[in-house]
Amino acid sequence: MIGAVQNIISNPTLYNMTQSTITQITTETCLKAVGRPSFILMDKDIDTQTKKYSSVKEFLYQMTCLGIYLAAVMPLLKKCSFKLAGKLSNEDVFKAFKSSGDFLKYHKMDEAGKIAKLEEINRNLPTGDKFIKENIDENLAKGVVEVSSIIGSVTGLAIVAPIASHPLIHPIMKVMGLDKKSSEKPQEVKK
Amino acid sequence: MSLGTTVKNICRSIGKDNNPAYAVVAIATAKGIFRPLFTMMDKKESPETKKYAALREGLTEVIAIPTYLLCGTLAGKGAALFKDPVKAKMAKHNLRFVGVCTAALLVIPGLCSVFVKPFTDKIFHKNNKNENVKSQPDELNIVSKAEQTQLQKMPITQTGHLHSYPAKNVSMTAFTNSGMRV
């Protein structure tokens, strides 16, 4: 039993997966989408209708944020950041790989695969330049990808998503019959 | 050290080992600033509701930041059980990730339900009390501010001022300030 737990904890696949900021944020947001509504539903001080309303709203908010982040913010930032880093820095790694996707494929390869990939790139070069494995700063390029992901996460989840999710959540809740405003309107008319 | 070198070093460090706490702490910090700001900018809500919601959101993130860091660090300590350095490095990172996930799923919502609601309730009840005190009208001041004449309560025979006229201590203000004030 302990051996199995140790194997899971030191699993290289899990390690490689969790090195990516996108995986970290996606997992964390999914857990928030489950955890926060559960805690709201467990609260004994609130009435059932309010609990239902708040928990559904929180769930929809987290999922909308995640959707906007994965669909709009990250693809845009991934493209721009690598190109920007290539323009600002003279490092070989940004010259050898055109996009962050190409670099990440190379980063996941074993030593032999990396050498073969660099030879392939060198063959296709129009000039006499040659890239060697020692000059490819993988940590820097990986860092650029991850830092841009963190910046994207902050921009997406803390600034863009709250603004964009607000007009999306209310119609969905109205369809579900949980929008508070629709139930409050008759009371206002009575007054 | 130039700015470019510093940025490069930060990128290299994150590229070498991307601590799961970095991203979540960065998001929590930004959320702690922007969520209350957006709430306060909402024109549809009443000012009291906005203040309450903004305080709750801000406090949630204030609790979240140290909790993420603490849970990640504490979970990472479990890697000391691994003797193989390669496995220990992987285990440290994976355990940090598990710690951050536990914080997001259980610890932060739990801490918030324990601390945030009572704290905000305490602040807002206090404010309401103060407002109630302010909103109450001042009590009617029916006591006259005119100078009160000190009348001798002891009989003249006991004071020893037999030859003095007893009304000589009474000043004219006692008469001019008396009566109904308009």
pLDDT digits (tens, 9 = 90+) for B43-64: 777 888 888 888 988 999 999 9
CA distances from A163 to A61, A154, B34, B72, B87 (A): 11, 13, 10, 30, 43
Residue B173: partners with Cβ closer than 8 Å, 6 or more residues away = B146, B147
Instruction: Give per-10-residue mean pLDDT for chain A (191 aa).
Output: 83 88 90 86 82 86 87 81 83 84 87 87 78 85 90 86 80 77 44 37
The ipTM is 0.80
Domain total for chain B? 1
Contact B21/B96 with Cβ under 8 angstroms?
yes
**CB–CB of A35 and B100 under 8 A?**
no
CA distances from A78 to A123, A147, B21 (A): 27, 10, 21
Residue where the block lists tokens 């050898």: A96
Q: Residue B94 is part of which domain span?
A: 20-123
Instruction: Tell me whether A50 touches chain B (CB under 8 Å).
Output: no
- The answer to the question of residue B103 being in a domain is yes
**φ and ψ at A159, to 5 degrees?**
-120, -55
Q: Chain A: residue nearest B16 by CA?
A: A139
Question: Residue A189: what pLDDT?
Answer: 37
- The answer to the question of residue B139 being in a domain is no
- The answer to the question of residue B6 being in a domain is no
**pLDDT tens digits, residue range B68-86?**
999 999 998 988 888 888 8
- The answer to the question of residue B164 being in a domain is no
Q: B66 or B128, which is more confident?
A: B66
Using CB atoms, pick whichever of B4, B8, B97 lies closest to residue A18. Answer: B97
Question: Residue A179: what pLDDT?
Answer: 66
Q: A43 or B65, which is more confident?
A: B65
Instruction: Tell me whether A26 touches chain B (CB under 8 Å).
Output: no
**pLDDT tens digits, residue range B103-159?**
988 899 889 888 887 888 788 776 555 555 454 555 555 666 566 666 656 665 666
- The answer to the question of residue B98 being in a domain is yes
Using CB atoms, pick whichever of B34, B104, B112 lies closest to residue A158. Answer: B34
Sign of the torsion angle spanned by Cα atoms A7, A10, A11, A12: negative
**CB–CB of A162 and B94 under 8 A?**
no
Instruction: Tell me whether A125 touches chain B (CB under 8 Å).
Output: no
B166: pLDDT strictly greater than 70: no
- The answer to the question of residue B49 being in a domain is yes
Closest CA of chain A from B93, distance in Å: 7
Q: Chain B: residue nearest A44 by CA?
A: B113
Contact B37/B45 with Cβ under 8 angstroms?
no
Contact B85/B67 with Cβ under 8 angstroms?
no
